[in-house]
Structure 1
Amino acid sequence: MKLMDIAEVAKRSGLPAATLRYYEEKGLIESLGRRGLRRTFDHDVLERLSLVALGQMAGFSLSEIGMMFGSGQRPQVDKALLAAKAEELTRTIRQLGALKNGLDHAASCPAPNHMECPSFQRLMKIAATRIGRSRSRPARTRGLITSA
């Protein structure tokens, strides 16, 4: 089996070597040794890096991704966790769609001033409500993964 050094992994993955070292520190990838001063990796590291990128695109934190990887070679993805994330994305898409429609309307509203536009006023009330909720509650935790 031919190993790749960190420079080759960086080139193939498009990630800086510093990110690869950080991912190794977090337990997301594992080097197999060193060639001189450079870490060496198996070719499977590229697949693992793709899974990290996919998890990040879906909105999972590096800690959550690491928990999915577990201690085995193959990731153990919790399907309930994926379903919960999909539902969260569905809600976000709905909210963003409504916001986009409101902004489109406000941009083409015949009212002489945005402050006189009823749709714009509704958007502002929604935003004010969200600000009030975020200030009155402690920081929201994901709560999607529990450690065993």
Structure 2
Amino acid sequence: MRALIQRVSGASVSVDGAEIGACGQGVLILICAMEGDTDDLPAKMAAKISKLRIFKDEAGKMNRSLVDIGGEALVVSQFTLAADTSRGNRPGFSQAAAPEEGERLYEAFAGELAALRVPVAKGQFGADMQVALTNDGPVTIWIEL
């Protein structure tokens, strides 16, 4: 699994002009299941992200986690994180999991994150979505398991 995490003061996702998910202070998680991902990865990714110390403490140092601050998460599927740009100018996406498998792992990840006491809002798998966010910092982290 690959994830791009952005620390946000707020984020939302819309489909056909209607907002379907939003979060306040916390993280926007763009996530992609990769070909060959195993069933244990959603839980591992959720645990990693929930404990990632990317929020400021009283001294202004990034020393607090999403769970520590009681933050929220907006989880959006994004198969383009599987892009292979090593040849030519058109990215290839053959490393992404098949749609059915990708959706299953995406839903499993969101469920695992919610089980860790993180309020989770989601995008719509496979939809053409518009994502709005206010990146706080900016802080953007790439994770691959």
TM-score of the pair, normalised by structure 2: 0.21
Q: Which has the larger radius of gyration?
A: 1
More helix by share: 1
Higher relative contact order (CA 8 A, sep 6+): 2
More strand by share: 2
TM-score of the pair, normalised by structure 1: 0.20
